Amino acid sequence: MTPSRSSRSIDWPLVLLYLLLVGLGWVAVYAASYSPEAPANPLASLGFSQLMAFNWFKQLLWMGTAAVLIVVLLVVDYKAYDTLAYILYFAMLGLLLVTLVIARPIAGSRSWLEFGPVRLQPAEFAKFTTALAASRFMASINLRQQNWRDQAVLAGLTLVPVALILASNETGQALVFAALLLAYFREGMSPLILLLLAAGGVILLLALLVPKLWLVGGFTVVLAVAFLLNAKLWRHHLILSLSTWAAVIGMVFGVNFFFNHVLQPHQRQRIEMLIDPGKDPLGKGWNVTQSKIALGSGGWLGKGFLNGTQTKFDFVPEQSTDFIFCTVGEEWGWAGSTLVIGLYMALLWRILLVAERQKSVFGRTYGYCVASVLFVHFTVNLGMTMGLMPVVGIPLPFFSYGGSSLWSFTILLFALLALDAHRKQDLLR
C-alpha cells in the first residue's frame, strides 16, 4: 500500500466537511471568547501562559492535537478497529469505573479525569468504544432472526456504559447512546422499538403539559375507535392492546411520581423551564431565555463577526461550549445558522453514503453509529439552544469549545474514514 493509493481512497468530501465545521467552529469560539480589551495581536504580544487564558487559543491547541490524532488513526492498521473492539470496550468500562471512583465532582458530575491543567471526560470516548463493540457484535449475529440471547447481549453491551455514565451524573452523555438504536434499526431491529420509544417520549411530554384525565380519556377514545373500526383484527391482539392501554395509563400517572421522586432537582428544573421559561426568566429560565434572545436578535444576516452583544457580554452562559450556536445565530443571522445546519445535513448524508458502501457489516454498522451519534448531539444541542428541548449539557460536534469532545468526534469520524479507505482490501480478505 502506497501513500498515494491510500490518499486517493480517502473520502475527501467528508474530510472537507469536517474541516469546514471545525474551522467555522473555531471562528465561533473566537467570537464567543473575544474581549474588546484584549491586545490587537495577541499571538505576538502575549506569552504562552497568558494565551492559555483564551478559549480560542486552547481550541487551536486542541485542533493541532486532533490533527496528530487523525494521522495516527489513518496510519494504524485498519483491521485493528475490528480486532481491538472488545478490548477497547472493556478497557473503557474500566476507565469509566475508575473515573467514577476517583473523580472530583465538577458541577455535580463525577466524570472528569484531571491531568494537571488538562481535563478529559472518558464518557466522550465511550461512544466510540461502544460503537466499535456493538458493530463487531452486530457482524457476528443476525438481528432479524429474533434471537433473544443475541438481543440481550446487544442491549447489555449498550446499557452497561450508559449505566456507568448515568452514575457519574452525566445524563446528557448517557442520552446520546440512544443514537445507537438508529444503527441497530438499520441492521434489522424491529421498528416497533423505535416507535415505542418515540411514542413514550411524546406521551411523557404530553403528560407534563396536558391534564392527565384529558390524556387518558383521549387515548381511550382513540383506542376504542380503532377497535370498532377493525374489531376482528383487534380481537386477535386483545391482550396486547389492553396491556398497551394499561401501560399508557400507568405511564401517565407514573410521570408525576417519576417527575417528583425520581428526577433530581436540577433535572426537574430543566424540564420545568422547557415547559415555561418565562416563569422565572432571571432564575431557572435564564439559560433558555438568554439563549433565545441571543439567537433571535440575529435577524436575517446577523450582527456581524465579533459584533454580537449578547454572547460577548456574557448574557448567555457556557457560550463557548454548550451554547456555541448562540454566537452563530447572533453574529451570522439566519443565513449563517441555516448554512451551518446545511453543513451538518451534508455531513450526515455523506456519512450514510460512506456507511452504505462498506462491504462489511462491521463497517456499515459503525458508520451508522457515527452518523447517529453526531445526529443526536446536533439535535439535542440545537434543540436546547432554540428552547425546544430541556437544557442538557452536551456539546455541538466540532463547534463547541473543548478538547474531549473535539477529539472524540474526530476519532469517531476518522476511524470510519480509515475503514472506508481500506474497504476494497476488506473485500479481498
Partner 1 sequence: MQYLEGRRYVVLAIFLLVGVLFAGRLFYLQVLDDSYKVAADRNTLQRQVQIPYRGQIYDRHDSLLVTNTPVFDLVVVPREVKRLDSLRFCQLTQMPIEDLRLGLRAAKIYSRNRPSPLIQNLSTRELATIDDMLGDFPGFRIQARMARTYKTENLAHALGYVGSITPKLLESSKFAHYQPGDNVGISGLESYYESTLMGQRGVQYRLVNVRGVDKGPFHGGQYDTLSVAGQDLHLSIDASLQAYGEKLLAGRRGSIVALDPKTGEILCFVSAPHYEPQVLTGQGSGNRYMDLLRNPDRPLFDRPLMATYPPGSVFKLVNELVALQLGVVTPGTGFPCNQSLIHCTHRHEYPSNVNIAIKQSCNPYFYQVMRAAVLRGQSRNGFEDARLGLGQWQKMVKSFGLGEKLGVDMSQEKRGLIPSPDYYDKRLGYHRWNYKTVYSLSIGQGEIGITGLQMANVLATIANHGYYYAPHFVRGIGAVGQPLAQFRERHYTAIDTSLFKYVIPGMQAVVDGRGGTGEFASLAQYGISVAGKTGTVQNAHGPDHSTFAAFAPANNPKIAVAVFIENSGFGGTAAAPCAGLIMEHYLRGHVAPSRKRWENWIMYGDLTRRGHH
Query: By CB under 8 A, which span of 243-251, 306-314, 401-409, 413-421 interacts with partner 1?
Result: 306-314
**Which CB, 166 or 199, lies closer to partner 1?**
199
CB of residue 334 vs partner 1: minimum separation in angstroms? 4
β-strand 113-115 against 118-120: which pairing, if any?
A: antiparallel
Query: By CB under 8 A, which span of 6-14, 42-50, 99-107, 348-356 interacts with partner 1?
Result: 348-356
Does position 185 interact with partner 1 (CB under 8 A)? The reply is yes
**Which CB, 168 or 320, lies closer to partner 1?**
320
Name which position in 378, 407, 409, 414 contacts partner 1 (CB under 8 A): 378
CB of residue 34 vs partner 1: minimum separation in angstroms? 12
CA 100 from centre of chain? 21
Does position 187 interact with partner 1 (CB under 8 A)? The reply is yes
Assign 3-class secondary structure to 202-259: HHHHHHHHCCHHHHHHHHHHHHHHHHHHCHHHHHHCHHHHHHHHHHHHHHHHHHHHHH
**Which CB, 216 or 341, lies closer to partner 1?**
341
How far from 91 is each of 85, 101, 166, CA to CA, in Å? 10, 15, 18
Does position 341 interact with partner 1 (CB under 8 A)? The reply is yes
- Cα separation, 10 vs 19, in Å, equals 14
The site map against partner 1 for 138-157 (x = CB under 8 A) is ------x-------------
Does position 259 interact with partner 1 (CB under 8 A)? The reply is no
Name which position in 161, 329, 363, 403 contacts partner 1 (CB under 8 A): 329
Does position 331 interact with partner 1 (CB under 8 A)? The reply is no
Query: By CB under 8 A, which span of 3-11, 102-110, 203-211, 293-301 interacts with partner 1?
Result: 293-301
Extract the C-alpha cell encoding 423.
474497504
Does position 179 interact with partner 1 (CB under 8 A)? The reply is no
Does position 342 interact with partner 1 (CB under 8 A)? The reply is yes
Does position 383 interact with partner 1 (CB under 8 A)? The reply is yes
Return the amino acid letter for 12. Answer: W
Residue 318 burial by CB count (10 A; 0-12/13-18/19+): exposed, middle or buried? middle
Query: By CB under 8 A, which span of 47-55, 168-176, 376-384, 397-405 interacts with partner 1?
Result: 376-384
Does position 394 interact with partner 1 (CB under 8 A)? The reply is no
Extract the C-alpha cell encoding 148.
433473544
- Cα separation, 265 vs 206, in Å, equals 20
**Which CB, 196 or 388, lies closer to partner 1?**
388
Q: What is the CA radius of gyration of the chain?
A: 23
Does position 386 interact with partner 1 (CB under 8 A)? The reply is yes
Does position 309 interact with partner 1 (CB under 8 A)? The reply is yes
CB of residue 388 vs partner 1: minimum separation in angstroms? 7
CB atoms within 10 A of CB 129: 24
Binding-site residue total for partner 1 (CB under 8 A)? Answer: 46
**Which CB, 375 or 399, lies closer to partner 1?**
375
**Which CB, 156 or 304, lies closer to partner 1?**
304
Positions touching partner 1 (CB under 8 A) are 36, 144, 182, 185-188, 290, 292-300, 309-310, 312-315, 329, 333-334, 337-338, 341-342, 344-345, 348-349, 352, 356, 368, 371-372, 375, 378-379, 382-383, 386, 388
